[in-house]
A and B are shown apart, each in its own frame.
Chain A
Amino acid sequence: MAISHSGTGSGTGAGSDPGTGPGAADNAPELIQAVPLRRPGRWIAAAIVIILLFLFLYGAATNSAYDWSTYGHYLFDKRVSKAAGVTLSLTVLAMFFGIVLGVVLAVMRLSPNPVLRYVSFGWLWFFRGTPVYVQLVFWGLLVVIYKQIDLGIPFVHQFAHIDTQNLLTYYWLAVIGLALNESAYMAEIVRAGLTSVDEGQDEAARALGMSWGQTMRRIVLPQAMRVIIPPTGNELISMLKTTSLVTAVPLTTELYSRTRDLAVETFNPIPMLLVASTWYLFFTSILMIGQFYLERYFARGASRKMSVRQLQALADAQGVGNQKGLI
């Protein structure tokens, strides 16, 4: 097979492209401008999916059971947005305490101290091994089980009595219940992250005279974050929805319980479910955006891939900066 060397190919390529670098200009081949392959299958598949999607949306818009006017009426109802606020604050608080406890449990689990190791394992075994709904019912009954808290030296002297009824509202019981359950899952996620960091990192940091705390904070955890963040994002979104279970405590001021109560008013649960779903989706979307930026931040240095700007700088140094197509 002969390669055509006549006509427009190499001749005009070098001649008509004065932008090429001085050294490379003479023999750099022309960029390929091939006719793209036709792919009818892709077009057909896309058309089918779009038609199905349209049919579904049309059906939803015209089906009276969805009762879109009620949906519109209640979507920004003050009672609903307030309940959404409760859901969000429950999620944030439970996650915050869950993560802090999870880090402590993970460090305990990796500790050379056997007592800490086994306690951490026992905690995990219990809180992962029982349904969160059951745990929440238990927390609701806490004030019955422990009617008062005595502060003092055990068996010797008491400084103060506190009635648990006054100390803990259902809201805080719900936060505690969700957080403790979450801590067990977070502990495993953090442990996976910590063990994913190469042992040499710890050694290098110690050889430089860094303390355990410095090594953890500055060297190990930032690298572990790459492994920790994606599943933690999962947990956060999962937590947002798990808050709908706190009715077991019973706490009924959050989004799902509140919309269900409102449905009693309207005699139609469907639009209220849609209202709740919309709010859940709204929060989830915001959390996903946050996760994207967090992941990008902690991915720095993780890849050999260079940014467009770095590549351009290298190309400029190479003297072919204006011929972007080749890079």
Chain B
Amino acid sequence: MAEPMVRSELVCKNFGALRVLKGISLTVDRGEVTCLVGPSGSGKSTFLRCINHLEQVTAGRLWVDGELVGYHERGGKLHEMPAKDAARQRRDIGMVFQKFNLFPHLTALENISEAPIRVKKQKKTVATDRARELLDQVGLSDKAKAYPAQLSGGQQQRVAIARALAMDPKLMLFDEPTSALDPELVGEVLDVMKELARGGMTMIVVTHEMGFAREVADSLVFMDAGVVVESGKPREVLANPQHERTKAFLSKVL
């Protein structure tokens, strides 16, 4: 059996005295879409940020594509990873943020081509052509020259997805990608994500969109207070939750 894309073993994360993750264990196979759901403060976003080392894991082990995240293991000891190696790990992992975090001083096209040019040292013409393709793919080919402030929230998030895709990631992380959007704009972003999932992208999505989870996800993980309460096939978990906390949460959001 092939190595899973993401393997997490008892991952813990403390912020000072505060314990945010208390031992998360799960695996995400290649080409699989996993949705992380749960109440605010349950640690979903923190776990997602640990996967690309925006947060440093305090205890436990986390592998992406068979490679330990954030540390080198030598002679039975863990060594903190130099910034350069961490950057190399991150560039294969796309991330989409709740607040888009587009670069406001760059046009939509430049937002997408910036990292391929700087990080992958692609030729400007190559990166720009690819950026145009990606803009087309997210349905925004006419917005190439627009600055983020001139785009709607949904359009900005689609540009942000294209920006992450430009690095040809093997894994995409979505941190509540539709939570900051007007209801009528949620659909256009979810459509782009569904398209990606159909294309075989491995995705981990923190979301409150249960409809999306049911339709697209291969597995659903319910988190609360820093632990995984239950997980399984989305339809089964949503229709027939086993734990009281899951039932209570789902009764509020469904």
Does B105 lie within 8 Å of A207, measured CB to CB? no
Does A302 lie within 8 Å of B104, measured CB to CB? yes
Q: In chain B between 148 and 170, which residues have their CB closer than 8 angstroms to a CB of chain A?
A: 148-150, 163-164, 167
Does A219 lie within 8 Å of B119, measured CB to CB? no
B118 interface hit (Cβ, 8 Å): yes
Does B118 lie within 8 Å of A210, measured CB to CB? yes
| Chain A residue contacts of B103, Cβ below 8 A | 201, 204-205, 219, 223
Q: In chain B between 107 and 122, which residues have their CB closer than 8 angstroms to a CB of chain A?
A: 107, 114-115, 118-119
A211 interface hit (Cβ, 8 Å): yes
Interface string of B89-111 (1 = CB under 8 A from A): 01111110101011111110000
| Chain A residue contacts of B88, Cβ below 8 A | 209
A306 interface hit (Cβ, 8 Å): yes
Interface string of A236-277 (1 = CB under 8 A from B): 000000000000000000000000000000000000000000
| Chain A residue contacts of B87, Cβ below 8 A | 206, 209-211
| Chain B residue contacts of A298, Cβ below 8 A | 105
A208 interface hit (Cβ, 8 Å): yes
Interface string of A209-222 (1 = CB under 8 A from B): 11110100011001
Does B147 lie within 8 Å of A208, measured CB to CB? no
Partner of B119, one of A208, A223, A306: A208
B52 interface hit (Cβ, 8 Å): yes
The smallest C-beta distance from A200 to any residue of chain B, in angstroms, reads: 4
A8 interface hit (Cβ, 8 Å): no
With the chains together, A14 CA to B84 CA distance in Å? 67
| Chain B residue contacts of A7, Cβ below 8 A | none
Taking chain A's interface residues, is the majority helix, strand, or loop, or is none over half, making it mixed?
helix
With the chains together, A102 CA to B180 CA distance in Å? 38
The smallest C-beta distance from B108 to any residue of chain A, in angstroms, reads: 10
Does B101 lie within 8 Å of A211, measured CB to CB? no
Does A301 lie within 8 Å of B167, measured CB to CB? no
Closest chain B residue, CB of each to CB of A211: B87
Does B104 lie within 8 Å of A211, measured CB to CB? no
Most chain B C-beta atoms within 10 Å of own C-beta, residue among A200, A203, A208, A304: A208
Does B101 lie within 8 Å of A201, measured CB to CB? yes
- Contact (A218, B118) CB under 8 Å given A206-B87, A211-B87, A212-B83: yes
B78 interface hit (Cβ, 8 Å): no
- Contact (A306, B114) CB under 8 Å given A201-B101, A207-B90, A223-B105: no
Given contacts A200-B99, A209-B87, A310-B150, 14 further A-B contacts (CB under 8 A): A203-B101, A204-B102, A207-B52, A207-B54, A207-B94, A208-B114, A209-B88, A209-B90, A211-B87, A214-B119, A300-B147, A301-B104, A301-B106, A304-B149
Q: List 30 A-B contacts (CB under 8 A).
A: A198-B101, A201-B103, A203-B97, A204-B101, A204-B103, A206-B54, A206-B90, A208-B91, A208-B164, A209-B88, A209-B91, A209-B115, A210-B87, A211-B83, A211-B84, A214-B118, A214-B119, A218-B114, A223-B104, A298-B105, A300-B147, A301-B104, A301-B106, A301-B147, A301-B149, A302-B105, A302-B149, A304-B149, A304-B150, A306-B150
